[in-house]
A and B are shown apart, each in its own frame.
Chain A
Amino acid sequence: MSPVLLRSMFLVFLAGIVGSFGAVFLKLGAMRMTKSIWSLINSRLIFGVSLYLGSTVIYLSALKGGELSVLYPMVSLGYIWTLLWSKLFFKEAIGGAKFAGLALIVLGVVLVGMGTA
């Protein structure tokens, strides 16, 4: 594995974690919204969007280093983090169907990545 690819893999990994926290803050902000559309402007949502943008920038800089077939599957790790935070921070029920659905989604993303080689 070349150092460039390793660097890219690390960046995608990092982007996934940053992005999953972005999702957590989007959820926190969404829960605070009122009926007014202006309640879209609240500190949690702004922070969530910033994390999202940050994760996108990290992700894009990682893609320069190359092989999508390796990087794509790692992106789907972000879904697993988010499932973990949903359980931890929002006490959401994580049942068999969510695990099964997520496993299929990750498998699908891995396959798409292999096809993109």
Chain B
Amino acid sequence: MNTPSNPSAAAPQVAAARRQATLIVCACTVLNAIAQLLFKMASKNLVLTVPALLTNFPLIGGCACYGLFTIAMVLALREGELSMLYPIIALSYVWVTILSYFLLKESPNVFKNVGIVTIVIGVAVLGRGGRK
């Protein structure tokens, strides 16, 4: 029972907190993806004057999503490892690609599809490694 070399056995609550941190970041990459799409929309008619920026709603929405994502990331980083949580942000690519298919009518292709599946597998492998 007493295995100091295994932190999850020594402190189950730490392991649970880390798992929770991982799940928070996974879920919040959706916010990051929405922010990126909104930034892309905002960049199409970007005018660099104060009134134009203040009424650029995609830009404001993008900033809000990005802000929420950053706060979630910081809360997760209290418990989780940086080397574990940071690469998970790559899940954003998966959401951006899928959302672009539907919202921006971008055409799917083999590279994109294989790419997003590979990213998901990578995040899963990473997540398993951090559990030990």
Query: Are the CB atoms of B73 and A101 closer together than 8 Å?
Result: no
* Chain B contacts with A in 85-132, Cβ cutoff 8 A: 86-87, 90, 93, 97, 109-130, 132
Query: Are the CB atoms of B39 and A60 closer together than 8 Å?
Result: yes
Most A CB atoms within 10 A — which of B73, B97, B121, B129?
Answer: B129
Cβ-based interface call for B71 (8 A): yes
Query: Are the CB atoms of B129 and A103 closer together than 8 Å?
Result: no
As a 0/1 sequence over residues 24 to 68 of chain B, the CB contacts with chain A under 8 angstroms (1 = contact) are 000000000000000100010000000000000000000000000
Query: Are the CB atoms of A115 and B87 closer together than 8 Å?
Result: no
Q: Report the minimum CB–CB distance from A63 to chain B (whole Å).
A: 8
Partner of B125, one of A31, A92, A101: A101
Chain B at the A interface: mostly helix, strand, loop or mixed? helix
By a CB distance below 8 angstroms, the chain B residues around A108 are 90, 93, 115-122
Q: Report the minimum CB–CB distance from B60 to chain A (whole Å).
A: 15
* Chain A contacts with B in 70-88, Cβ cutoff 8 A: 72, 76, 79, 82-83, 85-87
- Per the bound structure, the CA–CA distance linking A85 and B83 in Å amounts to 8
- Per the bound structure, the CA–CA distance linking A85 and B86 in Å amounts to 11
- Per the bound structure, the CA–CA distance linking A109 and B125 in Å amounts to 16
Q: Report the minimum CB–CB distance from A116 to chain B (whole Å).
A: 7
Cβ-based interface call for B82 (8 A): yes
Partner of A95, one of B114, B123, B129: B129
Partner of B119, one of A29, A33, A105: A105
Query: Are the CB atoms of A105 and B123 closer together than 8 Å?
Result: yes
Most B CB atoms within 10 A — which of A23, A86, A115?
Answer: A115
Known contacts A98-B83, A107-B122, A112-B97; can you find 11 more A-B pairs with CB under 8 A?
A30-B75, A40-B74, A82-B82, A85-B82, A86-B81, A94-B83, A100-B129, A103-B122, A109-B119, A111-B111, A114-B111
Q: Which residues of B contact A (CB under 8 A)?
A: 39, 43, 70-71, 73-75, 77-78, 81-84, 86-87, 90, 93, 97, 109-130, 132
